[in-house]
């Protein structure tokens, strides 16, 4: 029997390659939003974006705290990108997820609307059991420890050690590791020493983490 009951999956740059260009397009929209709403230069917007990301984990929470920005206006604007121009259905990912016994949960700092558009475009909507987004988390976001406690509660799980947390950023994995979750870093970022596994792409997950792969799943190239 697998030691894991919950599979927490980050969304952007985790379920699809960072080279897709989607996150860059969203980032461009973030800067446009900031220049328009705050009446600042693009250079200043970029400086503030980096400052808020470092301090709060998301640009949004910096804008909420310091500029009283409406979070729904922000989320709707920055995610208004043509996802089908960047992503294609991923048959290998769909097959891998379909053969896992764990509850498969999207855990994202983005909005549920954006998450659903991404998973629909990837063709994995039937393989995702739950979406936990920044709105559901009442704007607590990774890597804020409260976000992980709330996410755990929302799944109905009480034991962090029964959870596998997958993300493309080390800083988003460290709080989960501190709680007792097993952590997997996706991509080439240098991992924090506390992180348990690192993979290049999400489809390597089931054959990398012991105890995750379903017995009758045969990897399809």
DSSP letter string over 177-221?
Answer: HHHT-EEEEESSSPPPTT--EEESSGGGHHHHSTTTS-TT-----
Q: Check residue 175 and give its pLDDT.
A: 98
Per the prediction, the chain carries an average pLDDT of: 95
Q: Enter the DSSP assignment of 47.
A: H
Is a pLDDT exceeding 90 seen at residue 126? Answer: yes
Is a pLDDT exceeding 90 seen at residue 202? Answer: yes
Q: What is the pLDDT of residues 173-201, one digit of tens each?
A: 999 999 999 999 999 999 999 999 999 99
Interval 160-185 mean pLDDT: 98
Contacts of residue 189, defined as CB under 8 A and 6 or more positions apart, other chains included, come to 168, 169, 170
φ and ψ at residue 185, rounded to 5 degrees:
-95, 130
Kindly indicate the confidence band of residue 16, based on its pLDDT and cuts at 50, 70 and 90. Answer: very high
Q: Check residue 217 and give its pLDDT.
A: 42
Contact criterion met (CB below 8 Å) for 131 and 9: no
Cis before 143 (ω within 30): yes
Ordered structural domains, the chain, with CATH? 6-18+89-208 (3.40.50.1000), 22-78 (1.10.150.450)
What is the crossing angle of helices 59-67 and 42-56, to 10°? 100
Contacts of residue 117, defined as CB under 8 A and 6 or more positions apart, other chains included, come to 79, 83
Is a pLDDT exceeding 60 seen at residue 98? Answer: yes
Distance, in Å, from the CA atom of 69 to the CA atom of 77, rounded to the nearest integer, reads 12
Distance, in Å, from the CA atom of 213 to the CA atom of 100, rounded to the nearest integer, reads 6
Contact criterion met (CB below 8 Å) for 78 and 29: yes
Q: Check residue 1 and give its pLDDT.
A: 75
Is a pLDDT exceeding 90 seen at residue 216? Answer: no
Q: Check residue 214 and give its pLDDT.
A: 57
Residue % of the chain over a pLDDT of 70 = 96
């Amino acid at each position: 029997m697998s030691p894991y009951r919950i599979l927490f999956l980050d969304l952007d740059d985790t379920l699809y390659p960072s080279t897709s260009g989607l996150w860059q397009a969203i980032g461009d929209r973030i800067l446009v939003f900031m220049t328009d709403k705050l009446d600042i230069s693009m250079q200043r917007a970029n400086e503030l974006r980096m400052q808020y990301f470092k301090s709060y984990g998301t640009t949004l929470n910096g804008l909420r705290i310091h500029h009283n920005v409406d979070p729904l206006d922000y989320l709707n604007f920055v995610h208004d990108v043509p996802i089908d121009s960047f992503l294609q259905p991923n048959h290998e990912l769909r097959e891998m997820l379909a053969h896992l016994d764990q509850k498969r949960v999207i855990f994202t700092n983005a909005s549920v609307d954006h998450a659903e558009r991404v998973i629909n475009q990837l063709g994995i909507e039937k393989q995702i059991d739950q979406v936990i987004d920044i709105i559901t988390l009442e704007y607590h976001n990774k890597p804020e420890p409260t976000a992980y406690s709330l996410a755990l509660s929302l799944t109905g799980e009480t034991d962090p050690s029964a959870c596998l947390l997958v993300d493309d950023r080390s800083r988003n994995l460290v709080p989960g590791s501190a709680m007792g979750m097993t952590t997997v870093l996706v991509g080439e970022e240098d991992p924090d020493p506390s992180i348990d596994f690192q993979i290049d792409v999400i489809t390597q997950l089931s054959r990398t983490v012991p105890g995750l792969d379903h017995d009758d799943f045969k990897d399809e190239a």
